[in-house]
């Protein structure tokens, strides 16, 4: 089970987008970019972050423009599923 830091940053633009980065403590990085309306859904449904954590994080990043959460546990299968989801979205 990867443990690491979840880093969210609001990117300027119209409409604004959000960069999601998960840095594993053991090395390795996962990066995604999502629209505002998909932020909570992506964190919760694709990355399997607890819903209350996803909602609270989304609120903070919308006003603070960046937030970091340390000690986040993600199931490795969920991280791979999110990466596969993004590959299909790009095609």
Domain housing 16: 3-90
pLDDT exceeds cutoff 60 at 71: yes
pLDDT exceeds cutoff 90 at 77: no
pLDDT tens digit sequence for 39-51: 999 988 888 888 9
At 1 the pLDDT is 54
At 39 the pLDDT is 93
Q: Cα separation of 72 and 68, whole Å?
A: 10
Q: Who has greater pLDDT, 59 or 88? A: 59
pLDDT exceeds cutoff 50 at 85: no
Instruction: Identify which of 64, 46, 51 has the alpha carbon closest to the alpha carbon of residue 8.
Output: 64
Count of CB atoms situated within 10 Å of the CB of 30: 19
How many domains, the chain? Answer: 1
42 and 34 Cβ atoms separated by less than 8 Å: yes
């Amino acid at each position: 089970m990867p443990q690491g830091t979840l880093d969210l940053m609001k990117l300027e633009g119209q409409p604004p987008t959000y960069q999601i980065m998960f840095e594993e403590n053991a090395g390795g990085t996962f990066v995604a970019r999502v629209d505002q309306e998909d932020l909570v859904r992506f964190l919760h449904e694709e990355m399997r972050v607890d819903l209350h954590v996803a909602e609270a994080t989304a609120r903070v990043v919308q006003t603070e423009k960046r937030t970091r959460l340390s000690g986040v546990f993600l199931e490795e299968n969920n991280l791979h599923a999110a990466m596969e989801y993004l590959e299909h979205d790009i095609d």
